[in-house]
Amino acid sequence: MSERSALAVRNRHVPSVMTTDVLLVGAGIMSATLGSLVKNLEPDWSIDVFERLDSPAQESSGPWNNAGTGHSALCELNYTPQRPDGSVDVSKAITINQQFQLSRQFWAHGVTQGVLGDPRTFINAVPHVSFVHGEADAAYLKARYEALAGNPLFEGIQYITDRDEIARRLPLMSAGRPDDETLALNWSDGGTDIDFGALTRQLLDSLERQGGNLHYGHDVRSLKQNSDSTWTVIVKDRQTGQKTRVNARFVFVGAGGGALHLLQKSGIPEIRGFGGFPVSGQFLRTTNAQAVAGHHAKVYGKASVGAPPMSVPHLDTRVVDGTPSLMFGPYAGFSPRFLKAGHLTDLARSVRPDNLMSLMGVGLNSMPLTAYLVKEVLKTRNQRVKGLLEFAPSIDGDDFELITAGQRVQTIRRNGMSGTLEFGTCTVSHADGTIAGLLGASPGASTAVAAMVDVLETCFPSRLDAWRPRLLDMMPSYGTDLMKDTTLLSDLRRWSDKTLRLTPEDQLA
């Protein structure tokens, strides 16, 4: 019996009535992170995780369902938009980078405490690179470099236009291009590739060792608040059909694409007006040794016109279960499901009187996006490979297989009489702090720690003073603007690099 199915069987029996302090819906990176934080802060609180599938991290947090980029805004051009005057707005990049510093510290702390195992099982150093061609985009990349170069969070970033140097660093992307084509890179050695599935499993295993209860194959069906503010949550065993009534003091809906439905069912007013727009995706992947040896970087290009920001093409070195591979994509598409293992009726079931206007408004304003998605869905394998070859002309497309990525549900938020389609993540919580959930996808798993700290701050304000020393122990830069404390930043970066085995010496070992 595999380790995973043993885990599922071990947790099969659940009584028909039970109580818990903290109920986490879903066994993805968000619930795993929140469970780990809470166990650290309140070791005596009971924690129960209910996951509808038979093992953890099978949806977006699974290693092949996302791109595994440790998003810290080193290479993603959608985080550094160009202003009309040609200058570059780096404010979003700074926020995301600071959030990622918290993740690095939390994971490094987890390694020192034995919560996480050998860091090489979930994080590896891989340069992060922005890549453009043509004079106009090269000018933008130069302006981006100039805006970031003096910032301590982006220390070491380089701007490279020399064709020989580009050929040395990115041979598969350089060969086969016209000699007179202008190419430009922003290169950062401090990037990472992360197996968020392995990270999720390790966090949950540790939670279980510390007394948390993991219940796989259990679907959370409904949530209702009681007069004493606790929640009655109905959970169904998908194998036996048995229903369990759980009384919980606090509920976190970490159900990924399933979060919108559950928050709607909870009836909290804060979810009114929210809707979801599902976007499916595919990647091309190869483990061919020659291709893998020819490319060591995560290289992000520019999104094509009309394409949503999450469709930016990128060619990535991936390390999953110790095996390196290359992945290209994502190719966006449309499916009405909200989870990979969801239902065709998911989108229809999310439509409510309170979000109808938001959905219709976004529908009317998103014609270019819809047209783009339709075009993407209709692409043949050859057309997809053509996209790869435009990015890396000398790569052999035959080496690549097409895999289905995770399902994203982009958040639609009410905006007056209409709605806005958002591409980030947001947390929604009830005013009394007894329930919270996470909507949206990007930057997602990389910033799970900041997102879950935000949940704690919003839902448990009266506990924060007592928790601060433990929070600082787990994340020494908690509450500090690292741009203003560069000594702390470089100390923490050195410490987390060493602990997470991200130094050049460690990576060669």
Ligand X SMILES: Cc1cc2nc3c(=O)[nH]c(=O)nc-3n(C[C@H](O)[C@H](O)[C@H](O)COP(=O)(O)OP(=O)(O)OC[C@H]3O[C@@H](n4cnc5c(N)ncnc54)[C@H](O)[C@@H]3O)c2cc1C
Looking up tokens 């099978």 gives 58
Region label for 62, one of left (φ > 0), alpha (ψ between -120 and 50) or beta (otherwise): beta
Residue found under tokens 């439509």: 351
28 in contact with ligand X (CB under 6 A): yes
What is the Cα–Cα distance from 340 to 406, expressed in whole angstroms?
A: 6
What letter represents residue 85's amino acid? D
Residue 78 near ligand X by CB under 6 A: no
CB of residue 330 vs ligand X: minimum separation in angstroms?
5
Stretch that binds ligand X, among 51-59, 171-179, 240-248, 473-481 (CB under 6 A): 51-59
Q: Are 235 and 220 in contact (CB under 8 A)?
A: yes
Binding of residue 51 to ligand X (CB under 6 A): yes
Among 35, 301, 444, 476, binds ligand X (CB under 6 A): 444
* Choices 6-14, 66-74, 77-85, 477-485; region in contact with ligand X by CB under 6 A: 66-74
Angle between helix 196-209 and helix 29-41 axes, rounded to 10 deg: 40
Restricting to residues 363-392, which ones interact with ligand X according to CB under 6 A?
none
Of 49-57, 80-88, 363-371, 372-380, the window that binds ligand X (rule: CB under 6 A) is 49-57
Nearer to ligand X, 212 or 406 (CB): 406
Q: Which of residues 180-199 bind ligand X (CB under 6 A)?
A: 196
444: left (phi over 0), alpha (psi -120 to 50) or beta: left
**Would you say 29 or 421 has its CB closer to ligand X?**
29
**In this chain, which of 438, 450, 456, 471 binds ligand X, going by CB under 6 A?**
438
Q: Which of 437, 17, 40, 440 is nearest to 251 (CA)?
A: 437
Name the minimum Å distance from CB 98 to ligand X: 15
Question: Candidates 25-33, 143-151, 373-381, 468-476 — which segment interacts with ligand X by CB under 6 A?
Answer: 25-33
Q: Supply the DSSP string of 483-504, one letter for each residue.
A: TT-HHHHHHHHHHHHHHTT-SH
Of 273 and 406, the one with the shorter C-beta distance to ligand X is 406
User: 3-class DSSP state for residue 413?
Assistant: strand
Count CA within 13 A, CB hemisphere, residue 314.
26
Size of the site for ligand X (CB under 6 A): 42
Q: Who's near 142: CB < 8 A, 6+ residues apart?
A: 159, 184
From the CB of 447, what's the least distance to ligand X, in Å? 7
Q: How far is the CB of 277 from ligand X (least distance, A)?
A: 13
Q: Binding string to ligand X for residues 219 to 258, with x set by CB under 6 A, is what? A: xx---------------------------------xxx-x
Q: How many CB atoms lie within 10 A of CB 471?
A: 20
Buried b (16+ CB within 10 A) or exposed e, 294-327: bbebbbbbbbeeebbebbbbbbbbbbbeeebbbb
Site stretch for ligand X (CB under 6 A), options 9-17, 264-272, 355-363, 436-444:
436-444
Among 11, 20, 40, 66, binds ligand X (CB under 6 A): 66
The SS3 assignment for 269 reads: helix
Residue 64 binds ligand X, judged by CB under 6 A = no
Q: Residue 446, interface with ligand X (CB under 6 A)?
A: yes
Amino acid at 31: S
Map the footprint of ligand X across residues 258-277, applying CB under 6 A. 258, 262
Residues binding ligand X (CB under 6 A): 25-31, 50-53, 58-61, 65-69, 71, 196, 219-220, 254-256, 258, 262, 281, 330, 339, 405-406, 408, 438, 441-446
